[in-house]
Amino acid sequence: MLLQCFLWLLAEFIFSYTMISAERIKSLRIYSFVNVIIFILICFCLIKLYSLDPRNVGLLINIIGALFNTIVIIANKGLMPVDIRAVQRALNLSELGAKTELDIICKIRRQHTIMTDSTKLNILGDKYGSKVCSVGDILIIGGIILAGLQLILFLILGIA
């Protein structure tokens, strides 16, 4: 159980550190490459964690979500495509306002790109819900909830 916690924290640390240090990497090409490597490392940590407890359905769903996000990010050279209409809907902006807001987000965070016909696997990109998330994000959230419920049942009732 201690190793599982360590691997989970390692995956979270890797992800969080790259978010904080994004502005330190000046080249978008290098940052995109690093972003892909980070997502692959996170998937590796989650898969290793799952191998320690294969009954954890929430973790399996989390892994599938992380793999979906990793696949779409790799396909788009390290960037997650975001649908302008989803941003427009989420922030209640005009189309021009949504494009301007998305341009700013893409330049500051350097993890997203505007979804177009040339971006790949748009169905897995950020375009769903009121908070603009991807299929992978939805699966990750669902997996975290299920893993948490499973942990609570284990701690309270002793049910594995």
Crossing angle of the two packed helices 57-75 and 135-157, in degrees rounded to 10:
160
Q: What is the mean pLDDT of residues 147-159?
A: 79
Whole-angstrom Cα distance, residue 37 to residue 14? 10
Average confidence (pLDDT) over 112-140 = 86
DSSP per position, 14-27: HHHHHHHGGGG---
Give 68's pLDDT tier (boundaries 50, 70, 90): very high
* pLDDT higher than 60, residue 5: no
The mean pLDDT value for 144-156 works out to 82
Can you tell me the mean pLDDT for 4-9? 58
**Burial readout 39-50 (b: 16 or more C-beta within 10 A, e: otherwise):** bebbbebbeebb
The span from the CA of 135 to the CA of 140, in Å, is 9
Question: Contact 153/56 with Cβ under 8 angstroms?
Answer: no
